Amino acid sequence: MQFFGETHISFVAFRNKAFIISAVVILAGLLSLMIKGGPNLSIDFEGGTLIQIKFDEPVPVADLRAVVENAGYENGEIQGYGNSTEYLITIEKISEAKEAGENLMESLVAAAPDAGWTLVSVKDMAPNYAKSFEGGNLVIVEAAAIPDLEELKVGVRENGTGFVEVTQESDNRLAFSLPYSGIESQAAELLKAEISKSFPEREIEIRRTETVGPKIGAELKNRMWAAIIISMFGILIYISWRFEFKFAIGAILALVHDVLITLGIFSLMGREISLVVIAAFLTIVGYSLNDTIVVFDRIRENFSLRRRESYENMVNISINESLSRTVITSLTTLIVILFLYLYGGEVIHDFAFALLVGVIVGTYSSIFVASPMLVEWHNRITSRVKAKS
């Protein structure tokens, strides 16, 4: 059996149209990202709490929402999950500013009762690893008369509030920097208790809980950026070494193209970017590269075999020659990913979806973007050389 015999499709001539199509899809995605203020990151990166809960019978989502809101989490999101009796409750970015302020005030009053303390403000300071700042709450307090600072430090700590540092802002103003105290985990506990109290007649099974503190979230974000940048560099170096620099640029552009489109589609569909989705993105990078390199390899081979052909023709022949392989491999990969998507379960759903989109886009880009990009690059350089002479 054979899908393709010898083909002579002029993919390269199609490149301008392909570039326009890609540009439109990428722009649509970027626009959506801009409107929505960036990608929809999951609690893995934002910090927060997630509870997957299963009832023996369906319960009204509105009731569940009311419970979550009454527990004090107005920004809680509730969605049906998998079958109709299972729900996912997500609460992102749980602030502990209120508790931080109250705790510090209590300790201050206990340590120096006569100082006349008032709470001015509490600000949640996100972690910033570039400045090796671990994040926490900045609590500003005022006192009628500030007692000796060293004694106060000991007193506050002894009375149960730890802090990273304290600075004197002015004559009667102090700024305490308090570390995070892991409120997400308490939130999960509280929610579970509230839910079982509110649905006493239902049998409840907690299928999964995840809580991520803001610190870990910020760290994961950093790590993922590092992973993406380092793998890009690794690829750039490897391809430059095995092929030529312009091949590397073509490959990287195709990768960025694939990830941007997948990211855009995630944004357009309102899907969340979690840790496993990022892993899927990196896999797309690997897969798309695989495809691209197979074509590049043909180009390299034909470059020495068919010296008389124009660059454009040669690239086109190479794409045609490897077309059969490209399609078959994409097909087998798509088959398994489709099964993963359909039957792999909810937990892996987003991951499989990202791969599904990525493999389709990756196949398209290795035919229509990466190799034609080489031609474009080649043409511009040769025309520049001609213009100079």
Choose, by CB under 8 A, the member of 118, 328, 379, 383 that binds another protein: 328
| Part of the chain binding another protein (CB under 8 A), chosen from 117-125, 141-149, 305-313, 324-332 | 324-332
For residue 386, CA distances in Å to 315, 379, 381, 389 come to 21, 10, 9, 5
Q: Where are the beta strands (DSSP E) in 58-193?
A: 77-80, 86-92, 117-125, 136-143, 165-170, 173-178
Rounded-to-integer distance, Cα 143 and Cα 174, Å = 8
Dist CA 96 CA 55 (whole Å): 30
Q: Is 325 in the site for another protein (CB under 8 A)?
A: yes
Counting contacts by CB under 8 A, is residue 230 touching another protein?
Answer: yes
Measured from the CB atom, is 172 or 329 closer to another protein?
A: 329
By CB under 8 A, the count of residues binding another protein is: 83
CB-wise, 40 or 185, nearer to another protein?
185
Distance separating alpha carbons of residues 128 and 336, to the nearest angstrom: 40
198 versus 283: smaller Cβ distance to another protein: 283
Q: Which of residues 122-181 bind another protein (CB under 8 A)?
A: 157, 160-164, 178-181
Task: Kindly indicate which of the ranges 58-66, 195-203, 341-349, 378-386 contains the residues binding another protein, using the contact rule CB under 8 A.
Answer: 341-349
- Binding mask 73-112 toward another protein (x if CB under 8 A, else -) reads ----------------------------------------
> Which of positions 283-302 make contact with another protein (CB under 8 A)?
283, 285-287, 289-291, 293-294, 296-298, 301
Which runs of consecutive H residues, i.e. helices, occur in 212-310?
214-242, 245-268, 275-305
| Residue whose CB is less far from another protein, 33 or 92 | 92
| CA–CA distance, 153 with 163 (Å, rounded to integer) | 9
Q: Which of 85, 95, 196, 209 binds another protein (CB under 8 A)?
A: 209
Cα angle at 387 between 386 and 389, to 5 degrees? Answer: 65
Distance (Å, whole) CA 20 – CA 23: 5
Distance CA 366, CA 206 (A): 44
Smallest gap from Cβ 227 to another protein, in A, equals: 4
Closer Cβ to another protein, 170 or 332, answer by number: 332
63 binds another protein (CB under 8 A): no
**174 CB-side CA count, 13 A:** 28
Least distance to another protein, CB of residue 380, Å? 26
Taking the complex as a whole, the smallest distance from the CB of residue 186 to another protein amounts, in Å, to: 9
Q: How far is the CB of 385 from another protein (least distance, A)?
A: 29
Q: Which helix (H) or strand (E) holds 50?
A: strand 48-55
Pairing of strands 77-80, 165-170: unpaired
Q: Is 28 in the site for another protein (CB under 8 A)?
A: no
**Residue 231 backbone phi and psi in degrees, to 5:** -70, -35
Task: Kindly calculate the radius of gyration of the chain based on its CA atoms and give it in whole angstroms.
Answer: 28
240 in contact with another protein (CB under 8 A): no
Restricting to residues 186-205, which ones interact with another protein according to CB under 8 A? 188-189, 192, 205
Minimum gap (Å) between residue 25 Cβ and another protein: 23
CB of 351: closest distance to another protein in angstroms?
Answer: 6
User: In angstroms, how far is CA 321 from the centroid of its own chain?
Assistant: 37
Stretch binding another protein (CB under 8 A), from 31-39, 66-74, 206-214, 372-380: 206-214
Cα separations in angstroms, 337 against 40, 147, 280, 298, 354? 23, 66, 11, 27, 10
Q: Is 212 in the site for another protein (CB under 8 A)?
A: yes
